[in-house]
Structure 1
Amino acid sequence: MTGNVAIRPGRAYPLGADYDGEGVNFAIFSQHATRMTLCLFDDDGNEAINVALPERDGHVWHGYLPGLKPGQLYGYRASGPYRPDEGHRFNPHKLLLDPYARRLTGHPRWSASVFGYDVTAKHSDLTFDTRDSAQAMPKCVVVAKDDGFDWQDDRPPETPMSETILYEAHVKGLTMQHPRIDRPGSYAALASDPMLEHLTWLGITAIQILPIHAFVNDEHLIEKGLTNYWGYQSIGFFAPEPRYMSGGQEAEIKEMVRRFHGAGIEVILDVVYNHTGEGNHLGPTLSFRGLDNLSYYRLAESPRYYINDSGTGNSLNTEHPMVLRMILDSLRYWVETFHVDGFRFDLAASLGRTAHGFDRNSAFFQAIRQDPVLSRVKLMGEPWDVGPGGYQLGAFPNPWGEHNDRFRDQVRGFWRGDPGLVARLANRVSGSAVRFDHDGRPATASVNFVTCHDGFTLMDTVSYNQKHNEANGENNADGHDHNASDNCGIEGPTSNEAVTALRARRRRNMLATLLLSQGTPMLLAGDELGNSQGGNNNAYCQDNEIGWVTWEGADPAFLDFVRQIIQFRKSHPILRQKRFLHARERLIDGVPDLFWRKSNGSLMTEEDWQDPERRHLIAEMRTASGTPEYAALEYAIMAVFNAGEALTVDLPSPREGWIWYRELDTADPSLGPFAVTKPLEVHANSVVALILRKA
C-alpha cells in the first residue's frame, strides 16, 4: 500500500536516518540513480509508505519526514538503468539496505527475489527480474543518536602497543560452551564476570573480536545446513550483527566495552571494508549493488564483472570519495559511539589499492593518518589480499601494525624441525626488522602470532599433519594445504603419553617464542585451554562444537604456563622495546644491544648462519639505545631456542655484582628461578630464558 505523506526537503547531512526529536531526516548517496524511493514498514514488516526523496545535493538524495520516531522500519528502492555491461544494476523491485543503517532486523532470506536478474534465465545476470524482494529482506531501523546509556566515566585504557597482549576471539565461539556464563553467545556473555576473570588472570590487555558488523549468511552454506560463522561477509558497516544481541539493543555492546575497559582491557574490532557480502556478478542485490554499483565497486575492464582482489567476488572502490567517506564515517562511529579502541582490517592491502596497484600513500591511508579521531586508535591489518602484487608485508605506513604470517610459518617450521630456519627465526625474534625497520616504524609494527582464527589451533598444529575439513562440505578441498604442522607421530587425538607430552612441550615452545620476541604478540582464544577443531583449518562455517572453544578438560598446568610466559614478558621491558635491536652499541654504556651466540659463548659467524643442520638459536638482548632507566632493572635477557638435541651453553661472564638467573624453561615450567654459575644444561626441544640482574 502506498501512503500519502508530506515529505520535506530535509538536508544532505548526516548520511543515514537521523532523528532530531521531531522527525527523521533521510540522506543516501547514489551518483547514477534517477530516482530514490524511501520505503517505510509497519511493525509486522508490511510496506506501508513509498515516497520519493525530493531533493538531491550533488549525489546525495534526501528528505525529512516529521513525526517519525526511533524504531521506524525502512529501506530504499533505487531507479536507474539496468545495463550490467555498463556497470549499472538498478532494479526498483529490490528493497535495499541503507549503508548507514544503525540497526537491522535480521538477515536476508534466500529466494530468487533477492537477485536483480532472473536466476532461471539462460543469459543469467543480463536479464531483469521483477519479483519484489521486500518480504525476503531485513529492514533498517531508525535509531536515536542518544540512547541514554550511562558510560560511568568510561576511560579507554590506552595501553601502549609495546605493552599490548592481543587475544583474538569470536563472540559466540568463546562463550558458547563456558560452564558459568549466562546468555552464552552474546555480547553480554563476552564481557561477563567469568570471562573478565579469565582474561585478566592471563594478563590479556586487548581482545580482538571477529567481525560484528552485520553480515550475510551465504546461500551455498544455508543449502548445506551450515552458516557464515566467522562473519567476513559484511552488509552493513554501522549496524551491529543482531545474532549476538541478547536484548536487541546496541546498549549491550556499549556495556560490553565499558566492562572490558573497567578491567583494563581494550576492544579491537575485526572489520571487513575490502568487500561486501553481495558477491560477484551473479550475487544478490541487497544494498550497494542496487544503490550504485558503478560507484561502490571496483569493476573490471568489462564492467559487467568485478575486480576480485578479496577472493570473495567483489572489492569496494576506496578511490571513490563517497565510498572512502562511508568507511571513515563507519570507523569514527564505532570509536565515538561504542568507545572501541582500534581495528584489525581484513585483507587490508585492498584498501590501499589504486588503479595502479597498492600504494602506501593511497587516499585511504592518508585520510586515516590525518583524521583526529582515527589517528589515535590502534590500527592493524592483514597486509595482503589475493590480487596481483597483493602481498605487502612491511609496506604499510606508520602507525599501522601488520599481521606477520612469516612469523607464524617460520616459528612453526623451526619447532617442527625444518632445516635452515635459524637465520629466519633470528629475524622474527628480533622484530622482523628487515621488513619493518624503515620510515620510523617501531618494532611493535610486527603483530606476531603462531595461530589465528584462519588455520589450525595451537593444539591442532601439533596434532595433525593434514587438514580435516570434511564437515565443510567441500570434499576437504577448502582451507590451506600448507600448515607447517606436525602430529608428533599420531594423527589426531591420542592417549599415548609420550606423544601427548611432546605435543604439550611443543605448544609451550611456540608460545614461549611468541612472547619472547620483539613485536606485538597475539594469541588465539582457546589455545591456552588446549582447544581443538578436530583438524579443521577453515572453520568459517562451523557454528557448532567444531568452531566453538571447549572449556571443559583444559590442562591446568598448560594454562598456568601460558599465564607464566605472559607475565614474564610483562615483567621484563627488554622484551617489549619499541626500538629495533640491531647489535648496535647502546648510548648508555657502549655495549651492543643484541648478540647472537653459539653454545660455547662465542658469536655466530656467517658460516654458522648458513648451516642447515643448526637447530638452536641463542639471543642475548639488552636495553635499546636511549633507555637507561631500564638498566637499573635488568641488564640483559638470554633466550635459548633449541629444536635439537640437549645442549650445554656457556654463558657470557657477567660484570661484577651481576649474575645470570634461569627464569623460564619449557622442559620444566614448574621449576622456579635459580642462579646459574656454571654452564647451563638445556634440554632437547625446549626454550630457556635467563635474566642478568644484580646479585
Structure 2
Amino acid sequence: MSSNYINAESVMETYEGKDLGLTYSTEYSMFKVWAPTAFAVSLVLYATGGNGISAGHTGDYKDSGRIINMQRSDGGIWEVRVSGDLKGRYYMYRAVFADGSINEAADPYATAVSANGVRTAVIDLQDTNPAGWDQDTSPALPHPADAVIYELHVRDFSAHESSGLTHKGKFKAFTEIGLRDAAGHALGIDHLAELGITHVHLLPVFDFQTVDELKVPGEAPRSPLFTDYNWGYDPQHYNVPEGSYSTDPASPPTRIHEFKEMVQALHSRGISVIMDVVYNHTYSIEKGPFQPLVPDYYYRHDYSGRLSNGSGVGNELATEQPMVRKYIKDSLSYWASEYHIDGFRFDLMGLMDSVTMREITEELRLEINPNLLLYGEPWTGGDSPLATKTLKGVQRGKGYAVFNDNFRSAIKGDSDGWGKGFATGEYGKEGAVASGIKGAIHEFTDSPVETVNYVTAHDNLNLWDKILATQGLRQEARLLELENGRLRSGGDLETAVEQADPYFAIDTLDVLENETVRRSLLANGIILTSQGIPFLHAGDELLRSKYGDHNSYRSPDCINAIRWENKKKFIPVFQYYKGLIELRRGHPAFRLHGRQEIERSLEFLRCDSGVIAYVLKNHAGGDGWNNIVVIYNANMGPVTQCLPESSGCWNIVVDHTHAGAEAFRQTENGSIEVAGLSMMVLYDKYGEPEPRSKVVEVHYERPDGDYRGWNLWVWGTGIQDGQRDFQHMEDGHAVARIEVLPGTASIGYILRLNDWEEKDGTGDRFINCSGSEEQVLKVTIRERKLEHDGEAADPLQRTS
C-alpha cells in the first residue's frame, strides 16, 4: 500500500460550504474539490469528452488537456477560478501525492458528464430547463399514508413494441400522451394516471457504469464490462442522469433536459417521482471519482484494514465519515431542488449509518421539501463492521419508512422458491399477515407510515412467476432457467421466450376465474387495503411475467419489457387494481395516520384457517362510511363470515368479480359468503365525513437559528404520540404540525435534541387545545430553560 493511502479516521479537515464542484457563469468558472491528503491538485481542461467525439473546439484546449494549478485553502479544499466562458468544455482533476503517484478523476460533484461518464462537462444548467420548468410543482401529498407507489424501470416502461411509444427506453417516452391500443385502452403515462397511483418509483436513473451509452443497435458491446441492459445499481456519477436513457448521450445537456421533461410530464398528471438511490457502494473503486482524489477515505474497511463487503459487490461507502455524509446530503438536496424529485428510496439502507439517515430526513424536509417521501431497504447484502446500521426498528419516530419483508413473506412465501404464504396456499400465516395489516405497529414501527407494504419488487421472482412456482406450474408454463441474462442450457433467449406460455391456463373470456389470477389479486389486494404505504411492482396490474427470471438485472428487453398488449387481454385485472386504488384513495379508513388511531379503529373478527376478517369502525379516520368490514379468504372454496350487528344492510364494494368505491350489491343477512381465493369489502352506513383531527401547529423560535436535530416528543394526541420533526421554516423559525383527536383538552410535549441528548426546558410542558373550534391551532414556543415542571405554552395565534 503506497504512502498516500491513509486511515480514513485520521483525516481531520472537513469543509461545510455548499459550493463544491463547478460554479459556472459566462464570465468565469470556479472549481472546488476536497482532497486534503493530496500534495498538489490541478484542473485539466479538455476540448472533448474523451470518447472520440469532437466538441469542435480548437486553440489552447487540446484533447491532451490544458493543466491549470489549483490553490490549497482551508478545509482540505483545492480551488481555481478560470476566466472566460467555458461552456462546452470538459475537465478532470489531477491529484499528486507525496509518494509521487498521480491520479486523474472526474469531479465527484459532477452535474454533467460526457458519454459513458468519461469526463466532467461544463454546462449552464439554466439551458437544460424545459419550457415552464419554473412553474413545475410537486403534486400535493397531505400525508405519507396517502401515497400509492409504483416501482418502474425507465427502459421497461417503453421498450416493447406494443407500448406504441416512439422514444423506446428513453426519458422522453414519459412525455408521449394520447396513446391507445386497438381496443382503446390508454398506454404509457396515460395508463399510469388512469391506474391512480400517486408516485412512480424509478429504478436508478443516475449515471451508472455498465451500459454502453454509445452502443450502436445490433453491434456487440465494445467492452466486456458493458451490457445492453442493467437495473442501474452500479453507480458511477451520483449527480448526473443516466445517458443511455437520453436521445443523445454525447450531448451533456440533453440528458438533463429530457430528465426534467419526464419529471414535468409526470407532475402534470398528478404523479410524484421517487428516485432509487444507491449510496451504499460504487461499481468501481479505482476508476470512480472518490478513491483517486482521497484514497481510502470514502470506503469502509474491516478491522484488518481490508475493504468491507456488506454490499456483496466488493465495497461499501463509509457513510459515517463526515465528508461522505455531507456528500450524500448534498447529492439528495441537489436532486430535490434542481430536478424537483419528490422522494428517495435507499438501496441497502442497512449499510447507511443511522445518524446519516436521521440527518437526511430532518434537513431535506426542513430545507427543501416538507413532503418528501423517504424509505429504504432495512438490511445489508452481507456482513459489515458498521455498528449503527439502519435496520428494521431504527426508523421508529424518525420520519422515514422501511420495507416490510415480514409482511411480504407472510403473504407470498419465500422469494424465489416453492415456499408458500397466506395468498399462495399456506395455513398458519394469518397472524403475521394481521400484524402487517395493522401497519406493523406491534412489531417494528411506531406509526403505520414507517412501513412500506409490498409482495414483490424488481428483485426476485415477480408476482405472477412466483405464484406459478408455488403451484408447481413452472414446467407447464415453460418458464426459463436463466443466469446473468442467458439460458443456463444455452440457446437463443428470444426464441425461448416466444415458446414460453405463462398464461396457458387463463380463459381470456373469464380472466378472474383463473386460480393464479385470483391469488395475485388477493396478494396485492391485502397490500392495498392495509395500513401503511402500499408499493406495487410495475406490470402486476397486467399480469406481467419475466418468464421465470428471478434476477433480471442484466437480462434483455424480451425478459424485462412491459408487454402492453396484456392490458387488452387482461383488462378485468387492470380494472380490479384501479378499483382497489380508487377505494384506498377515496377512504381515509384505509390510510390511518397513527398507532393510537389504529388501535382505536381496527378490530379483527377472525384470523385462522385461511381467513382474515377485520372491521374499521366508527368512521375510522373521519371516513364517511360508519363500519367497514374487510375479509380475505385464501381457501380454494367459499367461506361464510359473520358480520357485526347493524341496523341496516351491508353494501358490497369489492368481491371476487369487481373492486371499486361504489356499492354494486347488498346483503341484509348477519353473515356473508366469500368466494374462494378472494377478498371482500363491505360497509354498513354512509354519513357525512367527520373531522379526523385538529392540527396544532408549533412554531419554535431559537435565537441561534440552529434547529438541526431538534424535535418534539408529544403525548396525549389520540392519533400518533412520540417524535414529531420540524418540517419547514417560516419567518426564520421551525414549524411542526401535530394531529390531535377532536375534543382533546391538552397534549404534552418536550423539546429535545435528537434522542434526548439535550432538552429545551427541564420538565413536561402542555398545550391547551380546548375552547376553540378552529381547525388549526398555532402555538409559538421560544427557547428557554424552565425552572419548574408543568408550565403551559399558550397559543399566540389561531387560524382556521
Could you tell me the TM-score, scaled by structure 1's length? 0.80
Q: How does 1:310-459 map to 2 (within 5 A)?
A: 310-352=311-353, 360=354, 362-371=355-364, 372-374=366-368, 376=370, 377-386=372-381, 387=383, 392-397=391-396, 398-412=398-412, 413-438=421-446, 442-459=447-464
- Decide whether the 8 Å contact of 1:368 with 1:375 is kept in 2: no
| Aligned counterpart, 2:576 | 561
- Decide whether the 8 Å contact of 1:569 with 1:575 is kept in 2: yes
Determine if the alignment matches structure 1 residue 100 to structure 2 residue 84: no
Instruction: Compute the displacement of 1:13 (Å).
Output: 6.0
Q: Percent identity?
A: 28
Instruction: Compute the displacement of 1:473 (Å).
Output: 6.0
Instruction: Compute the displacement of 1:527 (Å).
Output: 1.2
| Aligned counterpart, 1:208 | 201
| Aligned counterpart, 1:519 | 532
Match of 1:47 among 58, 64, 71: 64
- Decide whether the 8 Å contact of 1:516 with 1:575 is kept in 2: yes
Query: Using a 3 Å threshold, how does the CA distance of structure 1 residues 550 and 292 change in structure 2: closer, same or farther?
Result: same
- Decide whether the 8 Å contact of 1:667 with 1:683 is kept in 2: no
Equivalent-residue separation in structure 2 for 1:474 and 1:574 (angstroms): 47
Equivalent-residue separation in structure 2 for 1:12 and 1:447 (angstroms): 35
Structure 1 runs not aligned, ≥5 long: 1-10, 83-89, 109-137, 353-359, 478-490, 586-592, 599-603, 609-613
Equivalent-residue separation in structure 1 for 2:262 and 2:453 (angstroms): 26
Question: Secondary structure of the equivalent of 1:418?
Answer: coil
Question: Secondary structure of the equivalent of 1:495?
Answer: coil
Aligned pair count reads 593
Matched residue type, 1:155? T
Matched residue type, 1:71? G
Instruction: Compute the displacement of 1:293 (Å).
Output: 2.4
**Runs of 4 or more off by more than 4 Å in structure 1?**
218-222, 388-391, 465-469, 473-477, 497-500, 581-585, 667-672
Query: Using a 3 Å threshold, how does the CA distance of structure 1 residues 551 and 653 change in structure 2: closer, same or farther?
Result: same
| Aligned counterpart, 2:124 | 144
RMSD after superposition = 2.9
Instruction: Compute the displacement of 1:472 (Å).
Output: 1.4
Determine if the alignment matches structure 1 residue 619 to structure 2 residue 619: no
| Aligned counterpart, 1:540 | 553
- Decide whether the 8 Å contact of 2:438 with 2:598 is kept in 1: no
| Aligned counterpart, 2:153 | 170
Question: Secondary structure of the equivalent of 2:565?
Answer: coil
- Decide whether the 8 Å contact of 2:485 with 2:554 is kept in 1: no
Instruction: Compute the displacement of 1:12 (Å).
Output: 7.6
- Decide whether the 8 Å contact of 2:282 with 2:288 is kept in 1: no
Question: Secondary structure of the equivalent of 2:616?
Answer: strand
Matched residue type, 1:102? T
- Decide whether the 8 Å contact of 1:40 with 1:73 is kept in 2: yes
Instruction: Compute the displacement of 1:168 (Å).
Output: 0.6
Question: Secondary structure of the equivalent of 1:444?
Answer: helix
Query: Using a 3 Å threshold, how does the CA distance of structure 1 residues 61 and 207 change in structure 2: closer, same or farther?
Result: same
| Aligned counterpart, 2:287 | 285
Instruction: Compute the displacement of 1:364 (Å).
Output: 4.2
- Decide whether the 8 Å contact of 1:349 with 1:391 is kept in 2: yes
Equivalent-residue separation in structure 2 for 1:314 and 1:218 (angstroms): 20
| Aligned counterpart, 1:236 | 237
Question: Secondary structure of the equivalent of 2:270?
Answer: coil
Instruction: Compute the displacement of 1:297 (Å).
Output: 1.0
| Aligned counterpart, 2:164 | 180
Instruction: Compute the displacement of 1:295 (Å).
Output: 1.4
Query: Using a 3 Å threshold, how does the CA distance of structure 1 residues 583 and 172 change in structure 2: closer, same or farther?
Result: closer
Equivalent-residue separation in structure 2 for 1:65 and 1:327 (angstroms): 27
Match of 1:470 among 482, 507, 510: 482
Instruction: Compute the displacement of 1:302 (Å).
Output: 3.1
- Decide whether the 8 Å contact of 1:97 with 1:139 is kept in 2: yes
Matched residue type, 1:171? V
Query: Using a 3 Å threshold, how does the CA distance of structure 1 residues 463 and 96 change in structure 2: closer, same or farther?
Result: same
Question: Secondary structure of the equivalent of 2:325?
Answer: helix
Determine if the alignment matches structure 1 residue 659 to structure 2 residue 649: yes
- Decide whether the 8 Å contact of 2:485 with 2:552 is kept in 1: no
Structure 2 runs not aligned, ≥5 long: 1-15, 51-62, 180-187, 213-220, 413-420, 490-499, 688-800
Equivalent-residue separation in structure 2 for 1:664 and 1:44 (angstroms): 57
Could you tell me the TM-score, scaled by structure 2's length? 0.70
Q: How does 1:108-147 map to 2 (within 5 A)?
A: 138-147=118-127
- Decide whether the 8 Å contact of 1:97 with 1:140 is kept in 2: yes
Equivalent-residue separation in structure 2 for 1:434 and 1:44 (angstroms): 55
Question: Secondary structure of the equivalent of 1:64?
Answer: strand
Equivalent-residue separation in structure 1 for 2:598 and 2:376 (angstroms): 29
Instruction: Compute the displacement of 1:156 (Å).
Output: 1.2
Instruction: Compute the displacement of 1:287 (Å).
Output: 1.8
Equivalent-residue separation in structure 2 for 1:225 and 1:345 (angstroms): 25
Equivalent-residue separation in structure 1 for 2:462 and 2:206 (angstroms): 24
Instruction: Compute the displacement of 1:641 (Å).
Output: 1.0
Query: Using a 3 Å threshold, how does the CA distance of structure 1 residues 96 and 264 change in structure 2: closer, same or farther?
Result: same
Determine if the alignment matches structure 1 residue 257 to structure 2 residue 263: yes
CA deviation profile, 1:140-170 (whole Å, cap 9, x unmatched): 1012242272315222113131211111111
Please say which of residues 220-229 and 558-567 is displaced more in the overlay.
220-229
- Decide whether the 8 Å contact of 1:234 with 1:276 is kept in 2: yes
- Decide whether the 8 Å contact of 1:18 with 1:142 is kept in 2: no
Equivalent-residue separation in structure 2 for 1:38 and 1:181 (angstroms): 43
Matched residue type, 2:655? D
Question: Secondary structure of the equivalent of 2:334?
Answer: helix
| Aligned counterpart, 1:637 | 628
- Decide whether the 8 Å contact of 1:71 with 1:143 is kept in 2: yes
Instruction: Compute the displacement of 1:227 (Å).
Output: 4.6
Matched residue type, 1:242? G
